[in-house]
Structure 1
Amino acid sequence: MTTARLSSSVVSAADLLGGEAVLRTRPRLSLDWIPLVRRGLPSASVDAIVRLTRITQSELARALGIPERTLARRKREGVLSPDESAKLVRFARVVERAEAVFEDKEAALEWLRSPNAALGGEAPISLLDTDIGADSVLDALGRIEHGVFA
């Protein structure tokens, strides 16, 4: 993947997690993620998403609901647990969706970090540690996309 692609279009969840070079495959369908999550994502996926989203590892750990020390240990071990992998994939898919809705990486990341009235005043990124929170964020993005609220 080239740098030009990163700046000119929406980055896929797979790309956010390091692409084929890190994942050793190219998930194209939702079901393609299942064996990757069950096996555990390579810890290099953490480095890739931190680099591409320019959030700190500490912010990512909070967003995933994974203690920062655990995340650091997994990086040393080289692989995330299936549960941690599922959380990281969920995070990447939400970032991908936000970028698609806003058609701009910076605007998407700013929206994810900013308190949102439609989400009870919470920043969307702070809700991604649970399925219900992530679903609420995706619902808010769908409403924005369809012009239900600004």
Structure 2
Amino acid sequence: MKNLVEEPALAYNYGSPFKALLLNSYPEGKSDELFMEYSRNGIQKSSIKILAEYMGLNQETMSTFLHSSFRNIQRKSDDELLDKSKSERLLELTAFAKKAVEVLGSSEALAIWLQSSLPALSFKKPVEYLDTSFGLNILYDILGRIEHGIHA
């Protein structure tokens, strides 16, 4: 199976295959296949910076979500592949960011929302929930309520 994000024209338009994955919409199920392929093969370290900027976060914060020290991440070159667990974790955050932007309307709105104290989270900030899959599930639930017009 040919990977859509490895198509030269697509990668050229976005500057990197990861950015193409982050910013494109794919047919139902196709993005899951691409995310699975990337998590198995690893994604470039430069993807951390791309996602951090998209979510309005810094790379140091992103490294904590990958369960790694910022210094350890800094040691890698931008084109070096992350290991399987870090790649998978970054892709989980990517899928979340894509859904959040779909619901909230823009990456700028996502950045604001992540730093806002929410009553549904006992006035904690959503960014505090990004470090675990369970936290992401809680945030997905809140996004689902927002999407369906239920007070969150």
Answer yes or no: same fold by TM over 0.5. Answer: yes
Identity of aligned residues (%): 25
Change (3 A) 1:100 1:120: same
Give 2:19's aligned residue.
Answer: 18
Distance 1:42 1:78 in 2: 5
Q: CA deviation at 1:77?
A: 7.3
| Stretches of structure 1 lacking an aligned partner (at least 5 in a row) | 7-14, 21-26
Closer/same/farther in 2, CA of residues 74 and 139 from structure 1, 3 Å limit: farther
Alignment of 1:97-112 (within 5 A): 97-112=99-114
2:133 counterpart residue number: 131
Partner of 2:88: 86
- 1:18 positional shift: 2.3
- Secondary structure at the counterpart of residue 19 of structure 1: helix
**Residues 18 and 149 (structure 1 numbering): CA distance in 2 closer, same or farther, change over 3 Å?**
same
Question: Does the C-alpha gap of structure 1 residues 16 and 64 become closer, same or farther in structure 2, counting only changes over 3 Å?
Answer: farther
CA RMSD of aligned residues (A): 2.7
Change (3 A) 1:105 1:29: closer
Per the alignment, residue 62 of structure 1 pairs with: 64
Q: TM-score, normalised by structure 2?
A: 0.73
Structure 1 residues 16 and 42: CA distance shift in structure 2, 3 A = closer
Bigger radius of gyration, 1 or 2?
A: 2
Q: Does 1:42 align with 2:12?
A: no
Structure number with higher relative contact order (C-alpha < 8 Å, ≥ 6 residues apart): 1
In the TM superposition, residue 75 of structure 1 has moved relative to its aligned partner by 4.0
Structure 2, unmatched stretches of 5+, are 1-9, 22-28
If the length of structure 1 is used for normalisation, what is the TM-score? 0.74
d(CA) in 2 for partners of 1:45, 1:95: 13
